[in-house]
Amino acid sequence: MRLKRDHHCGQLTEDLRDRIVCINGWVNARRDLGGISFVDVRDRYGIIQVRFGAELPESLLKEVKHLNNEDVVAVRGRIAVRPSDSVNPKIPTGTIELLAEDFALLNKAKPTPFEINKRQTGSEDLRLKYRYLDLRTAELQRNMQIRHHTAQVVRRFLSDKDFMEIETPVLMKSTPEGARDYLVPSRINPGKFYALPQSPQQYKQLLMVAGYDRYFQIVKCFRDEDLRADRQPEFTQIDCEMSFVDEEDVRSIMEVMIAEVFRKVIGVTIPLPLPVLSFHEAMERYGSDKPDLRFDMEICKLDELAAQTDFSVFKTALEQGGVVRALTIPDAADFSRKTMDELTEQVKKYGAKGLAYVKVDKNGLQSGIAKFIPAALVPGLLQHCKAKAGDLICFAADEWETALTSLGALRLMMAKHFGLINKDEYKAVWVTDFPLFEKDPESGRLMARHHPFTSPKTEDLDKLESDPMAVKARAYDMALNGYEIGGGSIRIHNRDLQSRMFKALGIGPEEAQEKFGFLMNAFEYGAPPHGGIAFGFDRLIMVLCGEDSIREVIAFPKTTTAQSPMDGAPSEVDPKQLDELHIRLK
């Protein structure tokens, strides 16, 4: 190759003045002033302005004249300090330029479907189809750099703490207990299928049995469920497991890791130790098991006051074993009827039947359900809800979890509406003491809230059969700015307890042996007490990058219909392939 590079565009400095250097890169912009023209050449490291003067050969200048954005070029020239009135303070190399002496067009580019140097052009759909072009943008290059850096910090940290990085199989046995599995047919074993791991959970527990007492892996996981802005069908976890530990051991080492990531990658200090909230407290105060602590606006408990009102909605909810909770929204008393109707629609998505409210002014309560609240209760209500004139108090009367999640969602909407969230703030918190089980609303059957390998709290062991819904789990989640970025637990390491757990979940001994026998058998050969955690690597990067969508931090993401517009996956396959796999389509 002629004119092979010896420097990167973004690494050129004044120290190199008068040196002859050669750069390769993409045309970021061209400014043709007639006698001279300027071409900004871009590579991964930055942008340098190249000056093509009139003294250059005619043929070369003609070629430069027809350069387009994204053409791939090579330039050899002399580094020169720019005239003082021509400095560009917007770019790091703005005090210098490259005086071209030789030039080669390495490859021509068609006009791009959207503009690389203006990221607001082009729909996301289009950008995904031409992802290799989108990845050239400064925004995605920065995000990929942060992702890379984070992975290196995590590896270094865990390795220094004696964690071993061990790869686990991608083709594994299907255990369809939680999310749907992605299945892979086996050609050699007709009619049989592998599953792609939803997480390496069983393998890492087996590694503990094997004595590898500290394991980690930055690993792809797969879940065939519907997607969201923060959910992809294939995603990456920082998966960790440790032996001879309790909850505090896992949490204390992992919060140091997260703090180190924030310090080294984006220069943010996260004070340690992190606050710890019980699931119950997180729900009661913030209406969420992944609370955003960057702003206050806490929910308040209102059962006793509500019972004294004349409002039938409150009374009915309480009689049916539900609760009444309130959220005071500061300075929202001027919300229109239309706004209130919209908010009502929003909370209904979370199962609330409606949204009762009162507006507070200097004379007391106005509008909404004010007439049902006896005057004698008003001072107490205002004090309890920390409400002042100009505020709006919203009420939810419903089953406990519904009432709180509805107000929790409202709390988030209002924080965004009033701009209460500081984008540069990072508030992490541990949420603990989750219930071990939850009820499937359709079948009424018990389901593991975390997963079936989570250990119950020791003091709740005797309630596993008699009162399972009261059993707490030795589980912990890390929430960061309202995102669940990690979750883990102390695991069951005893065959009998694991059997009791499966039984509680309605999985009989035969089924348990068939599906998880390998793990349960392993427990009989000296399984150490162990526990671990998995962080959503993509979500963590998303927060580090200040992005709202996980697609912005994944090199080649899928759409919300789990497709890849760029390569057309998933696609139909040749009938011959299906035949080899012993598969016939319906």
Find the binder of RNA among 15, 18, 125, 424 (CB under 7 A): 125
**66 is a site residue for RNA (CB under 7 A):** yes
Smallest CA-to-CA distance from 236 within 573, 554, 584 is with: 554
**178 is a site residue for RNA (CB under 7 A):** yes
Find the binder of RNA among 36, 56, 172, 370 (CB under 7 A): 36
Question: Smallest distance, Å, CB 230 to RNA?
Answer: 7
Q: Which window, 36-44, 146-154, 206-214, 267-275, contacts RNA (CB under 7 A)? A: 36-44
**226 is a site residue for RNA (CB under 7 A):** yes
Smallest CA-to-CA distance from 536 within 266, 294, 239 is with: 239
Nearer to RNA, 32 or 298 (CB): 32
**503 is a site residue for RNA (CB under 7 A):** no
| The total number of residues written for the chain in this structure | 586
Find the binder of RNA among 3, 20, 72, 87 (CB under 7 A): 87
Contact 450, 434 (CB under 8 A): yes
Residue 157's φ and ψ, nearest 5 degrees, are: -60, -55
Strand partners, 520: none
Tokens standing for residue 263: 């310090």
Question: Smallest distance, Å, CB 34 to RNA?
Answer: 3
Question: Smallest distance, Å, CB 460 to RNA?
Answer: 17
Question: Smallest distance, Å, CB 361 to RNA?
Answer: 32
Scanning residues 181 to 210, which ones bind RNA (CB under 7 A)?
Answer: 198-199, 201
Q: Which window, 132-140, 296-304, 327-335, 446-454, contacts RNA (CB under 7 A)? A: 446-454
**511 is a site residue for RNA (CB under 7 A):** no
Contact 491, 531 (CB under 8 A): yes
**147 is a site residue for RNA (CB under 7 A):** no
> Which residue type does 307 have?
A
Contact 247, 432 (CB under 8 A): yes
**18 is a site residue for RNA (CB under 7 A):** no
Q: Is 499 left (phi over 0), alpha (psi -120 to 50) or beta?
A: alpha
Nearer to RNA, 90 or 584 (CB): 90
**121 is a site residue for RNA (CB under 7 A):** yes
Residue 586 makes CB contacts below 8 A (sequence gap 6+) with: none
Tokens standing for residue 37: 């023209």
DSSP category for residue 189:
S
Find the binder of RNA among 326, 429, 431, 448 (CB under 7 A): 448
Helix (H) or strand (E) holding 80: strand 72-81
Nearer to RNA, 154 or 195 (CB): 195
Find the binder of RNA among 1, 18, 33, 383 (CB under 7 A): 33
User: Rounded to 10 degrees, what is the CA torsion of 454, 459, 460, 466?
Assistant: 140
Question: Smallest distance, Å, CB 358 to RNA?
Answer: 26
CA angle centred on 500, ends 496 and 504, rounded to 5°: 170
Nearer to RNA, 44 or 349 (CB): 349
Question: Smallest distance, Å, CB 252 to RNA?
Answer: 23
Report d(CA 542, CA 538) in Å as an integer.
Answer: 6
Q: Half-sphere exposure of residue 298, counting CA atoms within 13 Å on the CB side?
A: 13
**86 is a site residue for RNA (CB under 7 A):** yes
Report d(CA 207, CA 194) in Å as an integer.
Answer: 21
Nearer to RNA, 13 or 86 (CB): 86
- Other C-beta atoms closer than 10 Å to the C-beta of 499 total 18
Size, binding site for RNA by CB under 7 A = 74
Contact 430, 273 (CB under 8 A): no
**263 is a site residue for RNA (CB under 7 A):** no
**69 is a site residue for RNA (CB under 7 A):** yes
Contact 309, 379 (CB under 8 A): no
CA distances in angstroms from 292 to 282, 413, 543, listed in the order given: 10, 12, 12
Nearer to RNA, 354 or 565 (CB): 565
Question: Smallest distance, Å, CB 19 to RNA?
Answer: 17
**124 is a site residue for RNA (CB under 7 A):** yes
Binding characters for RNA, 381-410, by CB under 7 A (x = yes): ----------------------------x-
Question: Smallest distance, Å, CB 493 to RNA?
Answer: 16
**94 is a site residue for RNA (CB under 7 A):** yes
Residue 511's φ and ψ, nearest 5 degrees, are: -65, -45
Smallest CA-to-CA distance from 3 within 31, 45, 54, 41 is with: 41
**63 is a site residue for RNA (CB under 7 A):** no
Question: Smallest distance, Å, CB 201 to RNA?
Answer: 4
**174 is a site residue for RNA (CB under 7 A):** no
CB-based burial label for 146 (10 Å; 0-12, 13-18, 19+)? buried
Find the binder of RNA among 2, 18, 35, 267 (CB under 7 A): 35
Q: Which window, 29-37, 302-310, 353-361, 370-378, contacts RNA (CB under 7 A)? A: 29-37
Tokens standing for residue 195: 């599953």
**225 is a site residue for RNA (CB under 7 A):** yes
Report d(CA 484, CA 279) in Å as an integer.
Answer: 13
Scanning residues 340 to 359, which ones bind RNA (CB under 7 A)?
Answer: 349-351
Contact 421, 293 (CB under 8 A): no
Report d(CA 330, CA 563) in Å as an integer.
Answer: 43
Find the binder of RNA among 63, 101, 177, 298 (CB under 7 A): 177
**97 is a site residue for RNA (CB under 7 A):** yes
Residue 193 makes CB contacts below 8 A (sequence gap 6+) with: 174, 183, 184, 185, 186
Scanning residues 233 to 252, which ones bind RNA (CB under 7 A)?
Answer: none
Scanning residues 549 to 578, which ones bind RNA (CB under 7 A)?
Answer: 549, 551, 559-561, 563, 565
Question: Smallest distance, Å, CB 345 to RNA?
Answer: 8
